[in-house]
Amino acid sequence: MSGWGLNWFGGGGAKKKDAPKNAILQLRGQLEMLSKREKHLQHQMDEQDGIARKNVNTNKNVAKAALRRKKQFEHALEQTSSQIMTLEREIYSIETANINKETLDAMKNASNAMKQIHGGLTIDKVDATMEELREQHAIGEEIGEAITQGVANQGLDEGELDDELEAMQQEELDTKMLKTGTVPVSDQVNRLPTPAQGELKRPARQEEEDDEEEELRKLQADMAM
């Protein structure tokens, strides 16, 4: 009845969750014991080997008995080493499986979090929000332009602008008169294209003269042959 109560209130779930950890702890405890046994057997083997070497020439029976015990310890050592390898493999398998489970649980939690975040979102809602943002940006730009125009036009006198424009026109006219003397501006403009047209025709004539000189050199070369 007490076990049923633990399962009902989550006690069984806690035990199930701690099962990998408890299994690993138990395996590591057994591994530590086997490692100590391995060292002890190795020490016994070395000791019997020393006895056999010491009595190999003086007492062959003692030496043979020592070698027999050494073989027994060697067999036990091989079994112990195999058990250690098995335990290490099991520990690795449990740790790997536990890491895989925890990784999968984390991914499930991430998936649930994404579902909660996207639960209230739809494409239509996103489009509507973006449209509202665009409208607000447009309103902000219009407001900024209106404020800028108000500041720029504040305090301007149209009469002052006309006077400044007239002064600039008079300055330009005076500059042209200084360049042409008493000659009207229209006469100065009409005389300008003549030199330019002459300069444009000179490259074509120069090219023709070069071709003629090339032909003349070819004729001279043929005559020389």
What value does the mean pLDDT take over residues 87-96? Answer: 93
Which band of pLDDT confidence, cut at 50, 70 and 90, is reported for residue 223?
low
Does the structure show a pLDDT above 80 at 3?
no
**DSSP, res 40:** H
Burial of residue 103 (CB within 10 Å: 0-12, 13-18, 19+) is exposed
What value does the mean pLDDT take over residues 82-107? Answer: 92
Q: Is residue 87 part of a domain?
A: yes
Q: Is residue 156 part of a domain?
A: no
Mean pLDDT computed over every residue of the chain: 79
What pLDDT shows up at residue 33? 95
Sign of CA dihedral 114, 120, 122, 126: negative
What pLDDT shows up at residue 209? 73
pLDDT tens digits for range 170-221: 888 888 888 776 555 444 445 545 554 444 455 566 777 777 677 767 766 6
How far CA 161 is from CA of 33, 154, 158, 166, in Å, comes to 103, 14, 5, 9
Q: Domain range for residue 22?
A: 2-121
What pLDDT shows up at residue 52? 92
Q: Are 103 and 68 in contact (CB under 8 A)?
A: no
What pLDDT shows up at residue 153? 57
Identify the residue whose tokens are 């209130």.
9
What are the tokens at 169?
């026109």
What value does the mean pLDDT take over residues 26-48? Answer: 94
Q: How many domains does the chain have?
A: 1
Q: Is residue 170 part of a domain?
A: no
Supply the CATH number for residue 99's domain: 1.10.287.1060
